[in-house]
A and B are shown apart, each in its own frame.
Chain A
């Protein structure tokens, strides 16, 4: 036994010596102004560096390599970028190339590239088959003008332009399956950074600044993305200075991490408005009894929104209104704040015939059978599960039995979008999701689209259809206001809290990070504001 312990001590000593040696290894965390390299940690894992194949590679390509035709400003509006546009009837659109952009291989960007990109991506990339579903043709009229003809009037066409990553025709025109393309030129774009490589073993992706970028060379020479499988490890890397900041598409970090970060004098926490709704309780509005407006309203009075804000969002946010749309949108209409009134909720439910009929302490359906509300929540988003537990607690207080089913993202999307086999679900919305389709979150409501809420209310559907064909922005704003009336009156969905985007960074390594609603801190402004 003594010999074993002696051997153990020897191992510890050896490891200690090795530790002293390793400590002498160079540390790469130097301020940006010294080595002009920015290291960003992310949990958005890239599997392959093909932007058609890989969802997150698509996001990072848009942030670094490929320029969009239009972009989103800080207030969430679509504004011109590579092109501006005009239309008389929302069916035929003229796109004018306004930037003197060059591809990373030195060739000029032309209208031909724009027309090619629209038609090629519509045909080859499943995502753009949706974005450009009403595009009939795109033709270059001259070197700087493209005419796009749609199959119907469609104002949301310009939203698709903000998602369009311009690709070079001379690289892609011969490629029949872009998702399988492995040519060395597959990541040539005209964006502010040139793709350098992806090391899947060490989990790093590198971009170098494009000195010929049409808006000028970015303030940073090199950006390294470092991939982490867990937020815990990523935030340790931030505290340690291995990374200067963190990135997660359409969200910041979970607020529960904030207290531990606040204790570090080198870490600064930025707080931004969240254009998505952090978490909502989505009813399947085609399933009984969630198809009853009064039932949904009763549920809305049973929930303790203050607790959700404090326990889940750690106070970073606010209690939402009945109008669901967050108050950072320019078409937001003030509606009453959601509040808890358990006795009113109970009274409403009882008046609808949902009361305890067999004396077991739980409310039953009016026909006497037992009622149980099955809520699905995403297991990959920890706060969704914690929130589901709090919702369960509140509903059980008014006698509604609840069963929570944690599901992974694939199962969640299949149940809520494809099979529609669920009672209620807890999930967040993204800024991009709020913009898509007819905007104002209609993508998530309308049963003809993604439709988590499965809404087929004729009045709602009529408004969505009118938004989709209306070019007059004043009228669109009126329709957005009306849609918020419906959200408040009919409670298809209950917003649980409006959270904030929490973005930490190390102020000893980088300063001047900007933020935009679509790509967060990786928007174009950051590259010219960071120091």
Chain B
């Protein structure tokens, strides 16, 4: 049995390793499949045309940025560099990609981690409540409202929040992250709107999912039995509804972190918040291949890691998974 567990663990590691390799490869191929030339941003729109008709200049720049090499050569160099922890130099920033990511990721995590935790907490409670006895008018109305909330384009919602809280009520700034030397009040002042937006959207999404899971489990005989025994509201939800749905919940939490990053992209653009999403957007626009590759890889690794942690936690907390494996 032990050897079976070991091999299963090894298989999982292998699966994650393969996933990471695929991600890294796609991150290399995708930017290069996009039309457009990274040199456009090195010159500006008025000079690019003349510059590309100067073969010497073009050649020297292509050599400088490694664009003169074949795709396979570029790929091998890229893989070799990643193994050495080197993501290369950004075309547009002129600095090491790792340095830029290290500077920008904390700004995104500052938004996404608390937002994910809070929205998981509130969204779960709300979803559990809505999924149990879900036929009441109030619960159906709240569920419809949450679906409507989830359908609102985040950019439009961001503009609405800016209009109300920044322009009309003058409570928050119109954009930007806190300055480097900001105190806690200034940090809260800057983070309030992007954090609220991400959290509200995540709560809507999570509560819809949890509501669905709860509705399914609420019909199970063991829940009926628990109810007939007169179990309290909290005990019933936690012991008989939340725990059985723990495995899908943990997967959801891991996925949510991924969504938080992709959702943060639009939120960061709307609030001029220079996190990793905003940086990826800049890199896409400017065809900054090394930055694009580095940023995508960093985000992908975080999401894969979150999924791995969710797998381990599911194994620990869910006896069905452990038993399934033993069988």
Contact = CB atoms under 8 A, between A and B. Distances in A.
Given A229-B270, A229-B272, A130 B37 contact: no
Contacts of B167: 236, 239-240
Nearest to A50: B94
B13 interface: no
Which has the most chain B C-beta neighbours within 10 Å: A1, A126, A414?
A: A126
B166 A203 contact: no
Contacts of B274: 200-201, 203
B61 A126 contact: yes
B269 A230 contact: yes
Contact of B45 (A242, A408, A411, A413): A413
Interface stretch (B177-185, B243-251, B305-313, B315-323): B177-185
B46 A4 contact: no
B37 A418 contact: yes
Contact of B43 (A27, A48, A126, A232): A126
Given A409-B40, A449-B49, 6 more contacts: A18-B192, A55-B41, A130-B54, A199-B179, A201-B178, A229-B175
Interface residues of A, number: 65
A129 B51 contact: yes
Interface of A: 1, 4, 18-19, 21-23, 25, 27, 45, 47-48, 50, 53-55, 58, 126-127, 129-131, 133, 179-180, 199-204, 226-230, 232-234, 236-237, 239-240, 242, 380, 407-411, 413-415, 417-418, 430, 432-433, 436-437, 443, 448-451
B42 A126 contact: yes
Contacts of A201: 107, 176-180, 274
What 3 A-B pairs have minimum CB-CB distances, sorted nearest first?
A450-B49, A410-B36, A237-B174
Interface stretch (B16-24, B77-85, B281-289, B295-303): B281-289
Contacts of B41: 55, 410
B126 interface: yes
Nearest to A179: B94
Contacts of B25: none
B53 A18 contact: no
Nearest to A380: B285
Interface string B43-66: 111111111111001000100000
A136 to B, nearest CB: 15
Contacts of A407: 35
B5 interface: no
Interface of B: 34-38, 40-54, 57, 61, 89, 92-95, 103, 107, 125-126, 129, 138-139, 159, 162-163, 166-167, 169-180, 182, 185, 188-190, 192, 269-272, 274, 278, 282, 285-287
B88 to A, nearest CB: 13
A237 B38 CA distance: 32
Nearest to A45: B282
A132 to B, nearest CB: 12
19 contacts: A4-B125, A18-B188, A22-B171, A23-B169, A23-B170, A47-B93, A127-B51, A130-B50, A200-B274, A201-B178, A204-B179, A233-B270, A233-B272, A236-B162, A237-B174, A240-B167, A413-B40, A415-B35, A450-B50
B196 to A, nearest CB: 8
A131 B47 CA distance: 8
Contacts of B129: 1, 4
Contacts of A58: 44
B38 A410 contact: yes
B50 A437 contact: yes
A22 B94 CA distance: 38
Given A25-B189, A48-B95, A227 B57 contact: no
Max chain A C-beta neighbours (<10 A), residue from B44, B162, B271: B44
A380 to B, nearest CB: 7
B49 A443 contact: yes
